[in-house]
Amino acid sequence: MATKDHSADLFEFLLRMGDNTLILGHRVSEWCGHAPVLEEDIALANTALDLIGQTQLWLGLAGEVEGQGRSADDLAFLRDAWDFRNVLLVELPNGDFGQTLMRQFLFDAWQELMLDALKGSSDARVAEIAAKAAKEVAYHVERSGDTVIGLGDGTEESHARMQAALDYLYPYVGEMFESDAVDAAMAQAGIAPDPASLRDAYDAKLAAVMGEATLSTPDDRFTHNGGRTGRMHTEHLGHILTSMQWLQRAYPGASW
């Protein structure tokens, strides 16, 4: 009996994982030299480096699976906006420091659950990347969660800013748990979990942290979507890519 070829779906899944970390890593790197205090500047820069390092692994494997000779750099710098598969959450503007850390926590909490599941992937290459990335993300989610709590349960102004950040970002959370044919194929092959299966654990984590932060999670489950399928991105992604890709676009094939 022939084994079904999952390479096309696996390629799509790997793009989703790599594009999430690539775009968020670029966003976080925008704080370099601009954070409120030196310690936070260094911490954010390190987070960005971790995310870009994870991108190298995910997109590198995606290029191998695709089999068309494209490297991680090719996939990062030579695709247009409609070819990106990141969730909309990660391409949103940084806003103030509180909004950046709220966005980071909302993503970190999802990524921690996803990577934990992927460590048991039937694809050894995926499991290996997940095991490596999970060590970094364990720190990320602890730090972002603690910062959200500290600012949420802080001064009147910091509390108001964090509540505003949560209200603004929460409508983008649901996209991380949407499932489609790619997810079904990955789950059937034992390569990755159905994203929807992670929602209950995520909600429990979110409730615990927001409770300590004295913040109220919106009741409305409406979600913006379209990013992870490439169907629709926000206007912000184009601006990110203009900045991120300009050198390779201006000087094709340039290398150090």
Q: Which pLDDT score is estimated for 2?
A: 35
Q: For residue 25, report the phi and psi dihedrals to the nearest 5 degrees.
A: -60, -40
Cβ–Cβ < 8 Å for 215, 162: yes
117-144 tens-digit pLDDT: 999 999 999 999 999 999 999 999 999 9
Residue 1, in any domain of the structure = no
pLDDT of 113 above 90: yes
pTM (global) more than 0.85:
yes
Residue 112, in any domain of the structure = yes
208-247 tens-digit pLDDT: 999 999 999 999 989 999 999 999 999 999 999 999 999 9
Residue 2, in any domain of the structure = no
Q: In the structure, what pLDDT confidence band is assigned to residue 38 with cuts at 50, 70 and 90?
A: confident
Residue 162, in any domain of the structure = yes
Q: Give the Cα separation of 118 and 133 in Å (integer).
A: 10
The DSSP secondary structure of 48-67, one letter per residue, reads: HHHHHHHHHHHHHHHHHHHT
Residue 84, in any domain of the structure = yes
Q: Domain count for the chain, please give it.
A: 1
Long-range contacts, stretch 80-84, CB < 8 angstroms, 24+ apart: 80/241, 81/233, 81/237, 81/238, 81/241, 82/230, 82/233, 83/230, 84/15, 84/19, 84/23, 84/227, 84/230, 84/233, 84/237, 84/241
Q: Give the Cα separation of 241 and 243 in Å (integer).
A: 5
CATH number, domain of 126, equals: 1.20.1260.10
Distances in Å between the Cα of 161 and the Cα atoms of 30, 58, 102, 151 are: 20, 34, 10, 9
Q: In the structure, what pLDDT confidence band is assigned to residue 1 with cuts at 50, 70 and 90?
A: very low
From the number of C-beta atoms within 10 Å of its C-beta (0-12, 13-18, 19+), residue 1 rates as exposed
Q: In the structure, what pLDDT confidence band is assigned to residue 147 with cuts at 50, 70 and 90?
A: very high
9-36 tens-digit pLDDT: 999 999 999 999 999 999 999 999 988 8
Q: In 3D, which of 92, 85, 24 has the Cα closest to residue 53?
A: 24
Q: Which amino acid belongs to residue 210?
A: M
Residue 32, in any domain of the structure = yes
C-alpha atoms less than 13 angstroms from C-alpha of 135 in its C-beta half-sphere: 6
C-alpha atoms less than 13 angstroms from C-alpha of 32 in its C-beta half-sphere: 11
Mean pLDDT, all residues of the chain: 95
> Taking CA 107 as the corner, what is the angle to CA 9 and CA 118, rounded to the nearest 5 degrees?
45
Residue 256, in any domain of the structure = no
Task: Provide the domain limits for residue 27.
Answer: 7-250
Q: Give the Cα separation of 181 and 94 in Å (integer).
A: 32
Residue 255, in any domain of the structure = no
Cα dihedral 87, 71, 26, 227, rounded to 10, equals -10
Cβ–Cβ < 8 Å for 45, 33: no
Q: 99: which 2 tokens?
A: 């909004």
pLDDT of 4 above 70: no
Cβ–Cβ < 8 Å for 55, 18: yes
Q: What is the CA radius of gyration of the chain?
A: 18
